[in-house]
Chain A
Amino acid sequence: MKVLVPVKRVIDYNVKVRVKADGTGVDLANVKMSMNPFDEIAVEEAIRLKEKGKADEIVVVSIGVKQAQETLRTALAMGADRAILVVAADDVHQDIEPLAVAKILAKVVEEEQPGLVIAGKQAIDNDMNATGQMLSALLGWSQATFASEVDIEGDTAKVTREVDGGLQTIAVKMPAIITADLRLNEPRYASLPNIMKAKKKPLDEKTAADYGVDVTPRLTVVSTKEPEARAAGIIVGSVDELVAKLKEAGAV
C-alpha cells in the first residue's frame, strides 16, 4: 500500500510570533520555519506502518512556496521515499487556504492512487483543522480525524479518536483519510545516514497550475492582533479569602 502524507511548512513552534505592523498577519521574513508538528506525527505514523510491513511506499507532498522543499527533505530524511513539491505561491506570507490545498491533494491522489492519506489534524499557523475533512469530501473517502491510535487490518482502519470526554474507536473502510492528533506517536529524529540519503531521493516539482487549481484566496484577513498580555495574579492566604475574592469578581 502507498501512503500519502501532506506536510506544511510553518513558523517554528519555538519562535515568538510577531504581528506585522500593518496587521495583515504575522512576520515570516527571516524567522525559523519547520514542518508543522502534526504533520511530523503523520510522517512518523506512515513510517511505522512501513516498518510493520503495512505500507510499502511513502509519498510526501507540500503545497506552498518553493522553500517548502526543505520541509520535504526533512520528511525524506525521516524515512519517506519520494516527495512532490507543488509551488503555489512566491510570497512566504501567502497562505494557501485549505480548500485549494484539498483540491490539489485530490488531484495528487488521483495520480498517485494511495491506499491511505495521513495528514496532521491542523497546521499550527492558522489552526484551520479543515484540509483532511475537505479532502475526504472531495474524494468521497472515509475519514477518521484526531487519531491517537491507528491499526490497519486488511481494508479496514481501526482508529482511536480523541474526542471531548474521552476516546472513541471507529472502523473506517479504506481508502481513507486519517488526521493525526498529538498523542498518536512521538516523531523520530532524522538519522545521519538518512539525512545523507535524503538528497538522492526523488523530489518532483509541480505548480498549482499543473493541477488546474485556482489558489486565489477566498478569505480576507481583517486584522491580526497580539493576544492580551496576561494581567498580574495575586496570592491569597486562605480558601475563604479565595471564595470571597471570586464572589467579589462575580465568578461564583
Chain B
Amino acid sequence: MQFGLSEEQEMIVSTVRSFVEHEIYPHEAEVERSGQVPRALGEAIKRKCIDLGFYACNFPESVGGAGLSHLDFTLVERELGRGSMALTHFFGRPQNILMACNEEQRERYLLPAVRGERMDALAMTEPDAGSDVRGMKCAARREGGDWVVNGSKHFISGAEHADFFIVFIATGEDDTPKGPKKRITTFLVDRGTPGFEVREGYTSVSHRGYRNYVLTFDDCRLPDAQVLGEVDGGFAVMNEWLYATRLTVAAFCVGRARRCFDYALNYAAERKQFGQPIGKFQGVGFQIADMITEIDAADWLTLAAAWRLDQGLPANREIASAKLYASEMLARVTDATLQIFGGMGLMDDFPIERFWRDARVERIWDGTSEIQRHIISRDLLRPLGA
C-alpha cells in the first residue's frame, strides 16, 4: 500500500492549484456579483487551459486528450473544486460519454469537443423526472425515417455556452411484469436545430454564474445520425459513462472543503474574544478537529474509488459512498466555518457565505444523497435477497 502522490501527480496538483489561484480567484467576486461569466473571460480561461494541455485531460490520448488515469483526473477535479464552478467550467472537461461517438460523429462532436472548439451540455432531468430518470416524458417518435421529438428538460447546466447537447429521450415503452418501462435513447442535438430551443432557467442560490436552462423540443426532427450509441441503448450509455460525474462531485467537494477550512483555521487562530484566540476555546478547537478529520476521510474515500476504477475493480458503491460522504461533509464544513466566523461569516466581505450556499447543491445534483444511499444499500442487500 502506498499513500503518496507520484512526482507527476504532485506537479499536476500544484499546477492546477496555481492556475485556480491566479486565473480563477481574481474573477470570482465579479461573477458572484453579476451572476454571469463574460464570454471573453470564459474564452481566455479556455485558451490558457488548451495551451497548458489540460483541456479535455479526461480523454484518452488516441482522441487528443491527455490520457490521465481516473486517479490523476480526480486530483485535477479536486483542485478545480477550490474555484468558482462558473469559471472552472472553461477549464473544459467535456462529458466522457462522447467516447460513445461513432466514426462519423467523432469528427462532428468528439474531436471538436476535445479541442475546445465546441462545448457540450448534458440533459437528462425534466420537471417531472429527476431522480426517476425513467419517468421522463420527453419522447421521440419515428416519422419518415427520422425522429420527431417533443417535450422539455430543465436544470440544464452550462447550456448558454453549449454548441451541442447530449440529450436523453424516451423512444418507446416495454410492458414488463412490474408495469410499463420506458426505452431511452441518447441523442446529439445541435444548438439551432429547428424545433429546439434553449430558454433561461431558474435563479439558484448555489454556484452563481453557473446557470441552468430549460430546453424545449417542439416537433424537433433529428435524423438517425444524431443517435449516440444504440437506439434504446440510453441506459447502457448512461451506466457506462455517467459514474464519472459522481466522482467529480466528490472531488469537487474535497477541494472546496480544503479551501474553506484554511479560512476557518486561520480565523480560529487570529480572531480574539475574551482575551484569547477563539481556537483556544474547546468549542471552536474541536470543530476544527472534526472538520479536518472529515475532509481527510472524504479525500481518501474519493481517491480510493478513483483508484478502483483504474484497477478495473467494481466501484459503483464506492463512488456512491464518496459522493454521499463528501457532499455531506462539505455541508458540515462550510456551516462550521461560517459559525466560526460569527456574524462576519454571513457577510459577502468573505467568500464563506458563498461556499456555504454553493455546498447546498452538491447533495442534490448527480443523484441526491437519498439516491446514493439507495445505490449503496441495494448493492449490499440485493445479493442477500433483501
A residues less than 8 Å from B7 (CB atoms):
69-70, 73, 198-199
Q: In chain B, what residue has the closest Cβ to A77?
A: B11
CA distance A198 to B54 in the complex (A): 16
Q: Quick check: A191 and B11 within 8 Å, CB to CB?
A: no
A residues less than 8 Å from B54 (CB atoms):
191-192
B117 at the interface (CB under 8 A from A): no
Q: Quick check: B10 and A198 within 8 Å, CB to CB?
A: no
Interface size counted on chain A using CB atoms at 8 A: 16
A residues less than 8 Å from B8 (CB atoms):
195-196, 198-199
Contacts A70-B10, A77-B11, A199-B7 given; does A191 touch B53 at CB 8 Å = yes
CA distance A199 to B6 in the complex (A): 10
CA distance A195 to B9 in the complex (A): 9
Contacts A192-B66, A193-B66 given; does A74 touch B11 at CB 8 Å = yes
A residues less than 8 Å from B51 (CB atoms):
191
B residues less than 8 Å from A196 (CB atoms):
8, 66
Which residues in window 183-213 of A have CB below 8 A to B?
189-196, 198-199
Interface size counted on chain B using CB atoms at 8 A: 15
A residues less than 8 Å from B53 (CB atoms):
191-194
Binds A, one of B12-20, B97-105, B241-249, B299-307: B12-20
Q: In chain A, what residue has the closest Cβ to B66?
A: A192
Q: What 0/1 pattern do residues 1 to 43 of B give for CB contact below 8 A with A? A: 0000001101110110011000000000000000000000000
B residues less than 8 Å from A193 (CB atoms):
53, 66
Q: Quick check: A192 and B12 within 8 Å, CB to CB?
A: yes
Partner of B12, one of A69, A70, A195, A199: A195
CA distance A77 to B14 in the complex (A): 12
CA distance A14 to B12 in the complex (A): 18
Q: Quick check: B10 and A189 within 8 Å, CB to CB?
A: no
Query: Distance in Å from the Cβ of A33 to the closest Cβ of chain B?
Result: 11
B57 at the interface (CB under 8 A from A): yes
B residues less than 8 Å from A74 (CB atoms):
11, 14
Q: In chain A, what residue has the closest Cβ to B11?
A: A195
B residues less than 8 Å from A77 (CB atoms):
11, 15
B386 at the interface (CB under 8 A from A): no
CA distance A190 to B15 in the complex (A): 6
CA distance A34 to B18 in the complex (A): 12
CA distance A192 to B65 in the complex (A): 10
Q: In chain B, what residue has the closest Cβ to A190?
A: B15
B residues less than 8 Å from A194 (CB atoms):
53
Partner of B19, one of A189, A195, A198: A189
Query: Distance in Å from the Cβ of A227 to the closest Cβ of chain B?
Result: 16
CA distance A194 to B8 in the complex (A): 10
CA distance A70 to B11 in the complex (A): 9
Query: Distance in Å from the Cβ of B18 to the closest Cβ of chain A?
Result: 6
Q: In chain A, what residue has the closest Cβ to B9?
A: A195
Q: Quick check: A191 and B10 within 8 Å, CB to CB?
A: no
Query: Distance in Å from the Cβ of A76 to the closest Cβ of chain B?
Result: 10
CA distance A219 to B370 in the complex (A): 64
Contacts A73-B11, A199-B8 given; does A189 touch B18 at CB 8 Å = yes
Q: In chain B, what residue has the closest Cβ to A72?
A: B7
Q: Quick check: A198 and B11 within 8 Å, CB to CB?
A: yes
B52 at the interface (CB under 8 A from A): yes
Q: In chain A, what residue has the closest Cβ to B48?
A: A189
Query: Distance in Å from the Cβ of A180 to the closest Cβ of chain B?
Result: 19
Which residues in window 33-82 of B have CB below 8 A to A?
51-54, 57, 66
B residues less than 8 Å from A198 (CB atoms):
7-8, 11
- Listed A/B pairs (18) with beta-carbon separation below 8 Å: A69-B7, A70-B7, A70-B10, A73-B7, A74-B11, A77-B15, A189-B18, A189-B19, A191-B52, A191-B53, A191-B54, A192-B12, A192-B53, A192-B54, A192-B57, A195-B8, A195-B11, A199-B7
4 smallest CB-CB distances across A and B, nearest first, come from: A192-B53, A191-B53, A193-B53, A195-B11
